[in-house]
Amino acid sequence: MNDALARHYPAHLESVQKRFGMALAAAGFDAVAVFAGSPHTRFLDDMDYPFRVNPHFKNWLPLTHAHDSFIAYVPGHKPVLVFYQPEDYWYLPPDPPAGYWVEHFDIRVIKRPEDAPGALPTARRYAFLGEWQERFKHWGFADVNPETLIHALHYTRAAKTEYELECMRRANALSVRGHRAAEQAFRAGGSEFEIHNAFCAACGQTDDEHPYHAIVALNEHAATLHYQHWNRDKPAQLHALLIDAAAQVHGYASDVTRTYSAAQDEFQSLINALDQEQQALGKKVKPGLDFKVLHLEAHYVIAKLLHDFAFVRLPPEEIVATHISNAFLPHGLGHFLGLQTHDVGGCMASPRGDSLPKPDGHPYLRTTRELKENFVVTIEPGLYFIAPLLARLKAGEHSRHMNWAKVDAFRPCGGIRIEDNVVARAAGPENLTRDAFKTA
């Protein structure tokens, strides 16, 4: 199972070392200490929140639960893993490091967090990268999370190594298992809670292990873009399901959304039409593409559907020009994906940290860069019936162009979003999500 990961990992690590080395040199540092992070205790409690590792830490190796550990890198030397393995009987300590990656690190095990300074390799100017704690202030770091270093790392990590892509392929495969089970639970009349549980069981991960909080939205709940509940009650009448849920592998995220109608009705026809348009948009992902252009094209796609399904009595060009389409698609077409669900660097103009502007009237677009080889983006157009946005539209000058009876008939379905993860390649895009569905 890990043969491909073992084969690709050395080249991945070499790429990470090169990126960090160039960033350190540009920022004026001799070494970096990347802190994994520590668990956080809930207020007035003795229980911790679920631990989330520093993304810069898991960029180096597949350890996502090694809290209070460090990666220390001095360019030109073997990277050091300072691995915290306490002697504990309240909680199960982490297993000793093992696997295809261990031979590439100088592993130094500590039993107490305060032993870490003595295990770090020496260097003149150390940069600290991670969540700062007061206990570190006398450890001799030259700077804490310097922006020059972070900007360079964020900008350059957009292009994925083959190791990273393999992790994301496997994350999509797990996600698809979950989506198949979720659809079955929906068809069987399950509640949001039951559908969510079916997803988790099928992909073999708990919600704490997922890259983000799963959105499992029945009926009008799909009109809330980041709907955050899993209702235990079953609706009196079942119209539709929107599920935005995914797994991760070795800290690399997938991000998958599907929408289903409870009947073979006009809402299902609308889903089918958007699905075809979404696939066409995904096929345009390639190096050299300005993602802003594709986002604006998605608005013409939504405008065409609004016209073809008789929601709006205007041609598509005017639906876009009047910003009517914004009421039905208020979010961006997609975002970078990788170590984080909404991965960093999507709007960066250069490693210096300057930003590329978003198109006027599109404040929620997360990606404005030109795509390069092996960038991974989500392609997720949506068409929603969102009450406050529709109320604003109804009160405005363009209300007369709307077929409100048709809009009102679709409100109980909430909305549609279809989302794939796509790799930009000169030879043609690789759709990680569609490939996973084909082989599920």
Q: Quick: pLDDT tens for 357-387.
A: 999 999 999 999 999 999 999 999 999 999 9
Strand runs labelled E in 226-280: 240-244, 248-249, 252-253, 257-261
Residues 379, 282: contact at Cβ < 8 Å?
Answer: yes
Question: What's the whole-number mean pLDDT along residues 36-48?
Answer: 96
For the chain, give the percent of residues with pLDDT over 90.
98
Give residue limits of the domains in the chain.
3-156, 162-439
Q: In CATH terms, is domain 3-156 a member of 3.40.350.10? A: yes
SS3 34: strand
What are the start-end ranges of the H helices in 136-290? 147-156, 162-187, 192-203, 266-282
pLDDT of residue 367: 98
Residue 425: pLDDT band with limits 50, 70, 90: very high
Residue 270: pLDDT band with limits 50, 70, 90: very high
Burial class (CB in 10 A: 0-12, 13-18, 19+), 201: middle
The token duo for 188 is: 């069987």
Q: Which is the CATH superfamily of the domain at 162-439?
A: Creatinase/methionine aminopeptidase superfamily (3.90.230.10)
Question: Does pLDDT of 2 surpass 80?
Answer: no
From residue 329, how far is each of 80, 362, 381, 389 by CA, in Å? 47, 10, 7, 10
Range in 3-17, 28-42, 80-94, 369-383 the model is least confident about: 80-94
Kindly report the average pLDDT of the chain as a whole number.
97
SS3 31: strand
From residue 360, how far is each of 292, 296, 321, 381, 404 by CA, in Å? 11, 11, 12, 18, 27
